[in-house]
Amino acid sequence: MTFQVYDTTLRDGAQREGISYSVVDKLAVARLLDEFGVGFIEGGWPGAMPKDTEFFRRARTELDLRHALLVAFGATRKAGLAVADDPQVRALLDAETPAVCLVAKSDIRHVERALRTTGAENLAMVTDTVAHFVAEGRRVFLDCEHFFDGYRYDPAYTTAVTSAALDAGAEIVVMCDTNGGMLPSQVTTAIGALTERLGVAPDRLGIHCQNDTSCAVANTVAAVEAGVRHFQGTANGYGERPGNADLFAVVGNLQLKLGLPVLPDGCLEQMVRVSHAIAEIANIAPETHQAYVGAAAFAHKAGLHASAIKVDPVLYNHIDPSVVGNDMRILVTEMAGRASIELKSRELGLDLADHPDAASRVTKRVKDLEAGGWSFEAADASFELLVRSELPGAGTPRPFALESYRVLVEHREDGAVVSEATVKLRVRGERIIATAEGNGPVNALDEALRVALSRHYPELRGFELADYKVRILEGSHGTGAITRVLVETADANGGRDWTTVGVHENVVEASWHALVDALTYGLARTPKV
């Protein structure tokens, strides 16, 4: 059984609001899609946009694809124009791709109202254009726009468009749910009715679904279950309006749920890497909760889940995440039980299995702290320090003892606002007082701490405050609003970043907790200078 995995990230995907690829971006995306093992890459519409024309020109020398064939997209000839005289058709040929995909009207209402021509002329446009490209040695796919809506309105006309294309030599006629309004059962019914009417097997048909009902993936899978072998989609579901069928979910479902061999061996595990790399190029943050590839796709928060996962991860994962290049994660929050704490600690290299009392104490502290507004879900480093403080023999020494700190904010006559912080610490028996300025109170505090500690801990110089997030939480504890601060610290020497948390009614004090955890954690894991 051979499947055609047809990617349209660079054509339909580029129709998503906010995406604008350069030619270099398009070449990079094409290489990634090829590594994912798709069979066809629709690279754009040559002749419609100079960038797309340029992409196909450069692709000839700069792309060395292992799995995929490049496809150029265009429309059937203009109404009333000979196919050989249509400049769009010429541009499509000039792209010199082994295959082309032609979009054709297949809903009689669109033929008459949007194209402003007759049903007969549209059929001739399909026949002429398909035959022209076939005669030029191209493989031809025909995208039937508004196929399902057209078929419901006038099945005879939509069927006639399909037959005209197949008779003229099209390899596959693609049923497009252009407005994205279909449901899986409607797709299945239409395919059954059409194949009966046409007298052709469903493997001459393809499927292309927009996602306006959030059913694009389900509709695509339903079409394949109905016998279709050519399916289209885009990386991460990018596309016009809400998007297209997310090719990663489609492929994951077909390969892992239905056991269909849609990708070459060794490609499925590239899924997460390719998904995130394309998101990066598209300048769109990867969707954390995206099926299969999202960072949270296999992240477990509920204590009950973790307690079963501790026995066997299969019990709460629909697949082994590594099969698609993803990882399972255990989240530690107020919903954690002892099993969550134990599994998360194990992830961090701390074994609580032989310390049930410590696991219970950590669980209780996490629940109590979270009730007070703390959140460890994104603050692994603070969680690790907490576990270490309870696990016998694993404690992390605090690098200093605080005598006091003070922060001033000065609004000067010239309008400048400067913060100044002073810290008084005891470091290895020495009393140190240090003062520093910063562009805000937290920055000043961070600088003063570094000044005070740098002689005893020179490795601190490699730490950078990479991100600082503040969230004001509604006052639900009789204290008024409280502030939660998350600090992300980067290691200039290339180590992994780490995140710490602090909570207090006062934003500076909350930040102080997060900063102290950040330095403590960083110093504990960095080799001494």
Binding site for ligand CC(=O)C(=O)O (CB under 6 A): 12, 103, 143, 145, 176, 178, 208, 210
Binding of ligand ACO at residue 19 (CB under 6 A)? no
What lies within 8 Å, CB to CB, of 201 at 6+ separation is 195, 227
HSE-up of residue 82 (Cα within 13 Å, Cβ side): 2
- Residue 250: in which H helix or E strand, if any? helix 247-252
Going by C-alpha positions, the residue among 505, 500, 499 that lies closest to residue 479 is 505
Going by C-alpha positions, the residue among 452, 447, 436 that lies closest to residue 399 is 452
| Shortest reach from residue 92's CB to ligand ACO, in Å | 11
Round to whole Å and give the CA distance between 139 and 494: 49
Q: Which member of 19, 27, 28, 48 binds ligand ACO (CB under 6 A)?
A: 48
Task: Work out what residue 210 binds among ligand CC(=O)C(=O)O, ligand ACO, none; the CB cut-off runs from 5 to 8 Å by kind.
Answer: ligand CC(=O)C(=O)O
3-state secondary structure of 22: coil
Round to whole Å and give the CA distance between 420 and 257: 60
**Among the residue ranges 98-106, 165-173, 289-297, 313-321, the one whose residues contact ligand ACO (CB under 6 A):** 98-106
Task: Work out what residue 446 binds among ligand CC(=O)C(=O)O, ligand ACO, none; the CB cut-off runs from 5 to 8 Å by kind.
Answer: none
Per-residue binding letters, 231-250, with ligand ACO (x by CB under 6 A): ---------x----------
124-128: list long-range contacts, CB under 8 Å, 24+ apart: 125/76, 125/77, 125/78, 125/79, 126/76, 126/102, 126/161, 126/164, 126/165, 126/168, 127/164, 127/165, 127/167, 127/168, 128/76, 128/77, 128/82, 128/83, 128/168
Task: Work out what residue 208 binds among ligand ACO, ligand CC(=O)C(=O)O, none; the CB cut-off runs from 5 to 8 Å by kind.
Answer: ligand CC(=O)C(=O)O
Residue 75 or residue 309: which is nearer to ligand CC(=O)C(=O)O going by CB?
75
Beta-bridge mates of residue 69: 40
| Shortest reach from residue 6's CB to ligand ACO, in Å | 15
247 neighbors 8 (Cβ within 8 angstroms) = no
Task: Work out what residue 105 binds among ligand CC(=O)C(=O)O, ligand ACO, none; the CB cut-off runs from 5 to 8 Å by kind.
Answer: ligand ACO
344 neighbors 332 (Cβ within 8 angstroms) = yes
**Among the residue ranges 75-83, 93-101, 214-222, 417-425, the one whose residues contact ligand ACO (CB under 6 A):** 75-83
Binding of ligand ACO at residue 103 (CB under 6 A)? yes
Task: Work out what residue 311 binds among ligand ACO, ligand CC(=O)C(=O)O, none; the CB cut-off runs from 5 to 8 Å by kind.
Answer: none
Q: Cα dihedral sign for 121, 127, 131, 134? A: positive
83 neighbors 111 (Cβ within 8 angstroms) = no
Task: Work out what residue 48 binds among ligand CC(=O)C(=O)O, ligand ACO, none; the CB cut-off runs from 5 to 8 Å by kind.
Answer: ligand ACO
Residue nearest to ligand ACO (CB): 48
**Where do contacts with ligand ACO occur on this chain (CB under 6 A)?**
45, 48-49, 75-76, 78, 103-105, 114-115, 125, 145, 178, 240
